[in-house]
Structure 1
C-alpha cells in the first residue's frame, strides 16, 4: 500500500468535522481504545515514510514509522487515548491552541488505504468544529512564513507538515461516516500554513484565555451557567454588561474574581 499524490485526489466531503453520535447500544470504549492502539502500532510497524513523503508498506527492511513517530496521551471522557504524530517539518511561526483556526491542506485515509477525504486548496478551519484528533494533533505543528509576490498573490514557506495517526475515539468512535466504518483509526497527511489565534465572541479575550479551568477544553467553561460557553458568550458573567465593556483585571469588590466574571460587580 502507498499514499502517493494524495493532495490531488478529489474531495470526498469534509468528514474531518465532528459529528453527532448515532443512537446505539453502549459499547466498551475503553476496550476499543486498546484495540485501536494495537491496530495503529501494527500499521506503524509495517509501513515507512518514503523519500517522496508518501507512506509505503515495508517490503525490504525499510525503517518503520514506529521509530519516527511521537505520541501524545489524550484523556477524553475519562478514557486515555494515544495519538501518534510524525513531524516532517515542524514549521516556523506559531502553533495553534485547541480553540484556534488553521489554514491547511490535508488528505485522510483509513488503515486499509481507503481515501475518504482530501483538500488540495488552502482552507481555514476552526479547530473547535473538528474531530479531537485534529484539535490535539495540530498543536504539535507550526505555521509557515507568508511570502507576498509582486502580483499580490502569496504563498507560505517552511510550514508545518506531517502525519496524524488517530484512534477512533478521537475521530468518529462507533459512528460510521460515509466510507469510514465504525471504530476506525484514521491517518491524515497534513500541512499547516497559517494560524489565527481565535476570539470567537469578539469580546477582546482570546478563546484559549476563556478556558477558565485550564484543561484545554473551552467548551466546558460556562461562568453564568446559561448553556453558552464563555468563548462564545458576549456576557460571560450574565450581569447584563458585555464582557468587552468590563475590566479584565480589576476586582472592584476584592472577592478574588475579576469584574468580567463576577455578576456582583
Structure 2
C-alpha cells in the first residue's frame, strides 16, 4: 500500500504545482498592440506639437518625420530576388542619435565615428518579416516603392548619401513590448540619422 501512495501523492503534488503555475501565467497581462499604438500615437502627437511643428506625418504607419537634408547621391534601390523571397537590401554607413521621448539618449555613434550595417528584409509591406534592424529604420531608408512593389518608405527615392532624417516612431516599429538595454518596453523612439555612404 505504501508503494501505491507515494506515486499517487507525487502525481497530485505535480498536478497542484502545474495548476498554480498555469493560473499565474493566465493572470499575466496580454500585450495589446492596437491599444499601445493608440497610446503611442497620442504621446508622439503631443511630443511633435511641442517640439517639432514642421514634422510631416505618415498616417499609414503613425511615423512623424522631418527631412533635414535631401542628400546628393543618386543611389538606385533594388530588390534582390532569391529562391525563397524577394528581399530589400541596402548597406548604409551612418551617424545617428537615438532618444526616448523624455530626451535621454539611449544610443549614438561616437564623435568622428560611423556605424555600418546591412538592412535585409522581406518585402512584405507594412511589417518586415525577416529584418536585421528595427522596422522604423527600414521605412526611413526604403523608397515608397520600387517598380510596382510598394515598400512603404517615407520618401520617394529613399535616403541617399548625404541625407539626414529625423524620425519619431511608435513602439510598434521599434522594440514593441520588449525592453532593450536602456529602452523600456513600449517606448516610442526618436532618431536622427545622417547617411554618410550607401551601397
TM tier relative to shorter chain: 0.5 to 0.7
Deviation string, structure 1 residues 130-173 (Cα, Å, up to 9, x no partner): 100000112335323xxxxxxxxxxxxxx101211111000000
Pick from 162, 167, 173 the counterpart of residue 164 of structure 1: 167
Pick from 69, 91, 95 the counterpart of residue 101 of structure 1: 91
Q: Which runs of 5+ in 1 are unaligned?
A: 1-23, 48-64, 75-80, 145-158, 197-265
For the residue of structure 1 that corresponds to 2:114, the secondary structure is: strand
| Residue 95 of structure 1: how far off its partner (Å) | 6.3
Alignment-derived partner of residue 106 in structure 2: 116
Pick from 69, 73, 85 the counterpart of residue 89 of structure 1: 69
- Residues 1:70 and 2:56 are matched in the alignment: yes
**Between Structure 1 and Structure 2, which shows a larger proportion of helix residues?**
2
For the residue of structure 2 that corresponds to 1:187, the secondary structure is: strand
- Structure 1 ranges of 4+ moved more than 6 A: none
What's the Cα RMSD here?
A: 1.9
In 2, Cα distance between equivalents of 1:40 and 1:95:
32
In 1, Cα distance between equivalents of 2:56 and 2:40:
16
In 2, Cα distance between equivalents of 1:115 and 1:165:
14
Question: 8 Å contact 1:96–1:142 — kept in the other structure?
Answer: no
In 1, Cα distance between equivalents of 2:140 and 2:160:
13
- Residues 1:45 and 2:37 are matched in the alignment: no
For the residue of structure 2 that corresponds to 1:176, the secondary structure is: coil
Deviation string, structure 1 residues 34-71 (Cα, Å, up to 9, x no partner): 11111111000111xxxxxxxxxxxxxxxxx23x2222
Aligned length: 135
Pick from 159, 182, 185 the counterpart of residue 142 of structure 1: 159
Q: Which runs of 5+ in 2 are unaligned?
A: 1-27, 79-87, 121-131, 143-154
In 1, Cα distance between equivalents of 2:89 and 2:117:
10
For the residue of structure 2 that corresponds to 1:135, the secondary structure is: helix
In 1, Cα distance between equivalents of 2:159 and 2:194:
9
Deviation string, structure 1 residues 206-225 (Cα, Å, up to 9, x no partner): xxxxxxxxxxxxxxxxxxxx
Q: Does 1 or 2 have the higher relative contact order (CA < 8 Å, sep 6+)?
A: 2
Decide which structure has the larger Cα Rg and report it.
Answer: 2
Alignment-derived partner of residue 134 in structure 2: 131
Normalising to structure 2: TM-score of the pair? 0.62
| Residue 195 of structure 1: how far off its partner (Å) | 1.7
In 2, Cα distance between equivalents of 1:39 and 1:95:
35
Question: 8 Å contact 1:95–1:142 — kept in the other structure?
Answer: no
For the residue of structure 1 that corresponds to 2:109, the secondary structure is: strand
| Residue 72 of structure 1: how far off its partner (Å) | 2.5
Q: 1:73 to 1:103 in 2, by over 3 A?
A: farther
Deviation string, structure 1 residues 164-214 (Cα, Å, up to 9, x no partner): 111100000011112211100000111012221xxxxxxxxxxxxxxxxxx
